[in-house]
Amino acid sequence: MTNFWLEPWDERGPILERRANTPEMQAHLGGVESAESIAARHKRILDGVRDGTTGFFLIMVDDDPDPIGSVGFWDSEWLGQSVYEMGWKVLPGFQGRGIAVGAVLAAIGLAAAGGRHRFAHAYPKVTNEPSNAVCRKAGFALLGEVDFEYPKGNPIRCHDWQFDLKAVGGPP
Ligand SMILES: CC(C)(COP(=O)(O)OP(=O)(O)OC[C@H]1O[C@@H](n2cnc3c(N)ncnc32)[C@H](O)[C@@H]1OP(=O)(O)O)[C@@H](O)C(=O)NCCC(=O)NCCS
């Protein structure tokens, strides 16, 4: 497995997002995004980190000076419960090396240590095989299929995957 590490999200985030803004990378995420949408998410992440409701990280590797992926968690409501929602991406040149699974597990450890929520959820589209594989390999439990909106206003059919943070030191 390629050596990787996480660094806090910062101004390199939008640079990564622009590199990742291709039809291939965005195939399961509503298609190529506008510059405004990338800028708005960057601001949401920075605001969320500042007020403690978000943890978002850049994935770094030895053989590239720029971030090659991201992983994050943020406060969300699911079926009347406060949970973390998670998301991730790894650039095509670095995929298939276990980086996403490793980065997701590292982020799960940080989410659990934060102690805010018992459960983290992820909602990959049912057809997003790599992302569903990441959930399965990281140890999420598949709860079933659900209707979801991503981006907002775009209805999609997703898997609801849940990780019990209590199992890795999170709150009861
Ligand atoms: C999802 C994503 C982050 C995976 O990154 P990655 O670093 O390649 O993932 P990993 O190498 O850690 O593991 C992926 C697993 O999925 C499997 N996989 C990859 N493509 C697959 C496919 N088409 N069908 C089935 N499994 C697949 C891999 O084989 C691997 O499992 P293995 O170790 O048993 O072989 C990457 O594909 C991506 O960024 N996609 C675009 C953005 C996205 O959709 N993000 C998720 C939003 S919910």
What are 90-118's pLDDT values in tens digits? 999 999 999 999 999 999 999 999 999 99
CA 51 to centroid of ligand 1, rounded, Å: 31
Q: What is the mean pLDDT of the chain?
A: 96
Q: How confident is the model at residue 85 (pLDDT cuts 50, 70, 90)?
A: very high
DSSP characters over 44-59: HHHHHHHHTSEEEEEE
Q: How confident is the model at residue 13 (pLDDT cuts 50, 70, 90)?
A: very high
Portion of the chain with pLDDT greater than 90, in percent: 93
* Full-model pTM: 0.96
SS3 call for 66: strand
| Mutation to probe ligand 1, out of 22, 41, 95, 104 (largest number of atoms < 8 A from CB) | 95
- Going from the N-terminus, what domains does the chain have, and what CATH number goes with each? 4-168 (3.40.630.30)
Q: Take atom 3 of ligand 1 and give the residue whose Cα is closest.
A: 89
Q: How confident is the model at residue 40 (pLDDT cuts 50, 70, 90)?
A: very high
Chain segment 64-75, per-residue pLDDT in tens = 999 999 999 999
Residue 159, both tokens: 């898997």
pLDDT reported for residue 52: 97
Q: How confident is the model at residue 145 (pLDDT cuts 50, 70, 90)?
A: very high
Q: Which regions of the chain does DSSP assign to beta strands (E)? A: 4-8, 54-61, 64-78, 81-90, 119-122, 141-149, 155-164
pLDDT reported for residue 2: 86
CA 11 to centroid of ligand 1, rounded, Å: 26
